[in-house]
């Protein structure tokens, strides 16, 4: 705190001791203690109004940074006849704290003193219920609101809309929304946020388009709603509308837009957005900076991600973790570990997601021993209990390195019940290392565990195919058909001049599909000369009976690659984002394309990056 805020307190407290103003460069707390002491000596503390100002000051500072909630609570306990203002201040303070249930304590107490809650009390009481996620308390609070006749107060209605939406009770939320007499920006925005929260972006957008005036929070909620519900293109699109309406975005909006570009793998678009941030002088806070690191990492530009990270004005554990995860995705295990030790050296405490990133780096780099050391240090040095996902990393680590028996033993001996992703990691490893024996056991466990999950049938079936057990492949297909399990459609994205092109398998909808298919045929001719023999194992499972021939050659990433080669200058790199894991046939084909066409191809699949160059892939066929 500085002298001027100290003077502000004194002014509001109606104290006029100029000596106190000299006390600069003290902490807020010591300032407060001095003023408090002064008030005790002068008996001003017995003036409920003065005392309440002091408490309100504590609460206000609590909402900003340093927590003076305890101090406020102690002050409160020394006041003989606290008034409603003081109760409201405390309810407000606790509603934004880690322990919101304490609000209820003050609420009950004020009623016992025959005070009546007012229009200020309820928004914060409702906020506490929302924070706690307590439907029971929320319903009760709603009852009190009606009992005290505040059901038509817009502020209170808005907080109820928000509460019910947070509870996932969108019906209750909209019931209240439709009964608000004079809807304000917050009413609309809260309802839009509610629809977004439950995944109904369509209804959210309808309200968004209908509302009379929007503020930045409204834009932000709609854009982040799209981003959180995986409608990344729509998020970017809406940001462009925002720009065309001459609205200047803030940090929050930019984080959602950047994260959308990151998920799309849209480098060009992402760079433009980054440029917007710089041009518009948007404050580079922790979250925004981290989002940018994530952007470049996910767009395949890991060097740029490192540069942005190095230039960040501030970094926390999450910014470091984001970079480490990015390096891991690219298979840069050594550098990931270097950044990890540097992070520890700066005195930041790694979080459990930091270990997920570090362990996945070890796994992609085949660093088994190192991984185990880090896994052990997690609990020993940082007191972090490994969670399921960390065990998953270890299974992956052992499995990828070919230590399948050890991996299986690890799964059986882990202290918690292995879930599907853990078994899935083991099955994936069995496929890579063609171990049908363990694979079959694991595959059966998985199918029992999640009979509706298509991925496991596909993995198991691919495994049988690679082990030449064709009857089993046929059985798997039969089971899938009987159960109606469908493979989710694979798609590949490629950005061209800031526009995203989306290809799905066998897609005919692209306006230039004919040329693209011709291009692929030409590619096929050339890579065949270089030794491509087409698919043997994985794709066999993917083909439909009718389209045996073409299906294999119409995998979405092949279409995207053909489009990329067609549309870009010779030798310029091609970036592609896939929603599924790259299949073995596409992997082989892409390696050859990188050699024959002298192109760098950067493919992000759901697991990691593959940098294809000169006929080889950065994953060392180890994916």
Partner DNA sequence: GTAGGGTTAG
CB 286 within 8 A of CB 323: no
CB 600 within 8 A of CB 612: yes
Which residue of 109, 140, 285, 502 would you call a contact of DNA, by CB under 7 A? 285
Q: Please report whether residue 155 would count as binding DNA according to CB under 7 A.
A: yes
CB 278 within 8 A of CB 246: no
Q: Please report whether residue 184 would count as binding DNA according to CB under 7 A.
A: yes
Q: Please report whether residue 120 would count as binding DNA according to CB under 7 A.
A: yes
Report the residue number, 302 or 407, with the smaller CB distance to DNA. 302
In the complex, minimum distance from the CB of residue 295 to DNA, in angstroms, rounded to a whole number: 9
CB 39 within 8 A of CB 50: yes
Closest alpha carbon to 534 in 519, 551, 513: 551
Report the residue number, 138 or 289, with the smaller CB distance to DNA. 289
Report the residue number, 83 or 450, with the smaller CB distance to DNA. 83
Q: Please report whether residue 527 would count as binding DNA according to CB under 7 A.
A: no
CB 107 within 8 A of CB 82: no
DSSP characters over 101-115: THHHHHHHHHHHTT-
Q: Please report whether residue 190 would count as binding DNA according to CB under 7 A.
A: yes
Q: Please report whether residue 286 would count as binding DNA according to CB under 7 A.
A: yes
Joined together, the tokens standing for residue 472 give 């089993």
Report the residue number, 12 or 240, with the smaller CB distance to DNA. 12
Q: How many residues touch DNA (CB under 7 A)?
A: 59
Return the residues of window 222-261 that contact DNA according to CB under 7 A: 224, 227-228, 250-253, 255-256, 259
- Which H helix or E strand runs over 91? helix 84-95
Q: Edge-to-edge strands of the sheet including 499-504?
A: 499-504, 491-496, 574-578, 601-604, 609-613, 616-617
Report the residue number, 127 or 466, with the smaller CB distance to DNA. 127
Residue 199, φ and ψ in degrees, nearest 5: 85, 0
| Candidate ranges 31-39, 157-165, 199-207, 231-239; the one touching DNA (CB under 7 A) | 157-165
Q: Please report whether residue 151 would count as binding DNA according to CB under 7 A.
A: no
| Candidate ranges 21-29, 153-161, 451-459, 597-605; the one touching DNA (CB under 7 A) | 153-161
Which residue of 15, 44, 84, 135 would you call a contact of DNA, by CB under 7 A? 84
Which residue of 31, 36, 53, 364 would you call a contact of DNA, by CB under 7 A? 53
In the complex, minimum distance from the CB of residue 416 to DNA, in angstroms, rounded to a whole number: 27
Q: Please report whether residue 103 would count as binding DNA according to CB under 7 A.
A: no
Which residue of 162, 501, 555, 587 would you call a contact of DNA, by CB under 7 A? 162
Q: Please report whether residue 79 would count as binding DNA according to CB under 7 A.
A: no
Residue 441 CA, chain-centre distance (Å), reads 34
Report the residue number, 155 or 597, with the smaller CB distance to DNA. 155
Report the residue number, 119 or 454, with the smaller CB distance to DNA. 119
Q: Please report whether residue 288 would count as binding DNA according to CB under 7 A.
A: yes
* Measured distance CA(270)–CA(275) in Å, rounded: 8
* Measured distance CA(303)–CA(266) in Å, rounded: 16
Q: Please report whether residue 152 would count as binding DNA according to CB under 7 A.
A: no
* Measured distance CA(39)–CA(255) in Å, rounded: 46
CB 611 within 8 A of CB 618: yes
Structure letter (DSSP) for residue 384: P
* Measured distance CA(142)–CA(160) in Å, rounded: 8
DSSP characters over 501-524: EEEETT---STTHHHHHHHHHHHH
Q: Please report whether residue 193 would count as binding DNA according to CB under 7 A.
A: yes
User: Please, what's the largest Cα pairwise distance for the chain?
Assistant: 96
Report the residue number, 27 or 111, with the smaller CB distance to DNA. 111
Q: How far lies 383's CA from each of 126, 162, 377, 378, 555, in Å?
A: 36, 37, 9, 7, 46
Return the residues of window 317-356 that contact DNA according to CB under 7 A: 318-319, 322
Binding positions for DNA, rule: CB under 7 A: 49, 52-53, 56, 83-85, 88, 92, 118-121, 123-124, 127, 130, 153-156, 158-159, 162, 184-187, 189-190, 193, 215-218, 220-221, 224, 227-228, 250-253, 255-256, 259, 285-291, 294, 316, 318-319, 322
């Amino acid at each position: 705190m500085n002298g001027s805020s100290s003077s502000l307190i004194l002014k509001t407290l109606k104290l006029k001791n100029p000596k106190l103003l000299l006390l600069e460069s003290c902490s807020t707390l010591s300032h407060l203690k001095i003023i408090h002491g002064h008030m005790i000596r002068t008996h001003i503390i017995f003036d409920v109004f003065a005392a309440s100002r002091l408490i309100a000051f504590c609460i206000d500072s609590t909402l900003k940074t340093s927590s003076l909630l305890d101090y406020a609570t102690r002050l409160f306990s020394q006041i003989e006849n606290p008034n409603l203002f003081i109760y409201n201040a405390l309810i407000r303070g606790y509603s934004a704290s880690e322990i919101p249930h304490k609000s209820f304590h003050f609420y009950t107490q004020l009623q016992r003193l025959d005070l009546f809650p007012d229009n200020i009390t309820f928004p914060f009481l409702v906020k506490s219920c929302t924070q706690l996620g307590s439907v029971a308390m929320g319903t009760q609070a709603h009852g009190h609101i009606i009992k005290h006749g505040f059901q038509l107060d817009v502020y209170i209605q808005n907080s109820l809309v928000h509460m019910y939406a947070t509870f996932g009770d969108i019906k209750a939320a909209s019931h209240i929304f439709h009964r608000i007499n004079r809807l304000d920006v917050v009413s609309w925005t809260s309802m839009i946020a509610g629809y977004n929260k439950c995944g109904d972006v369509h209804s959210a957008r309808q309200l968004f388009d209908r509302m009379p005036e929007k503020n930045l929070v409204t834009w932000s909620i709609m854009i982040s709603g799209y981003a959180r519900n995986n409608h990344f293109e729509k998020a970017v699109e809406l940001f462009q509308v925002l720009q065309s309406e001459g609205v200047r975005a803030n940090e929050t909006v930019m984080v959602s837009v950047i994260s959308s570009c990151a998920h799309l793998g849209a480098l060009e678009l992402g760079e433009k957005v980054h440029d917007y941030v710089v041009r518009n002088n948007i404050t580079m806070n922790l979250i925004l900076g981290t989002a940018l690191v994530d952007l470049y990492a996910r767009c395949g530009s890991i060097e740029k991600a490192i540069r942005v990270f190095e230039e960040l004005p501030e970094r926390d554990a999450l910014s470091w973790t984001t970079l480490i995860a990015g390096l891991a995705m690219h298979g840069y295990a050594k550098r990931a570990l270097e950044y990890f030790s540097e992070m520890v050296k700066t005195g930041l405490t790694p979080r459990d997601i930091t270990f997920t990133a570090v362990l996945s780096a070890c796994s992609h780099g085949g660093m088994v021993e190192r991984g185990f050391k880090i896994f052990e240090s997690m609990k020993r040095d940082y007191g972090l209990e490994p969670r399921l996902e960390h065990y998953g990393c270890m299974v992956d680590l052992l499995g990828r390195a070919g230590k399948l028996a050890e991996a299986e033993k690890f799964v059986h001996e882990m202290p918690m019940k292995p879930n599907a992703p853990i078994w899935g990691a083991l099955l994936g490893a069995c496929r890579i290392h063609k171990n049908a024996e363990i694979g079959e056991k694991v595959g059966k466990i998985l199918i029992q565990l999640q009979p509706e999950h298509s991925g496991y049938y596909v993995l198991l079936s691919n495994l049988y195919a690679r082990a030449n057990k064709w009857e089993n492949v046929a059985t798997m297909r039969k089971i899938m058909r009987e159960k109606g399990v469908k493979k989710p459609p694979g798609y590949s994205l490629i950005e061209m001049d800031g526009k995203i092109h989306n290809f799905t398998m066998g897609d005919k909808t692209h306006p230039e599909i004919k040329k693209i298919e011709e291009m692929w045929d030409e590619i096929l001719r050339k890579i065949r000369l270089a030794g491509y023999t087409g698919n043997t194992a994985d794709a066999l499972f993917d083909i439909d009976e009718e389209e045996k021939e073409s299906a294999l050659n119409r995998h979405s990433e092949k279409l995207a690659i053909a489009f990329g080669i067609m549309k870009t200058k010779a030798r310029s790199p091609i970036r592609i984002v896939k929603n599924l894991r790259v299949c073995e046939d596409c992997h082989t084909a892409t390696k050859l394309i990188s050699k024959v066409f002298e192109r760098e191809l950067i493919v992000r699949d759901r697991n990691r990056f593959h940098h294809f160059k000169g006929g080889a892939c950065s994953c060392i066929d180890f994916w």
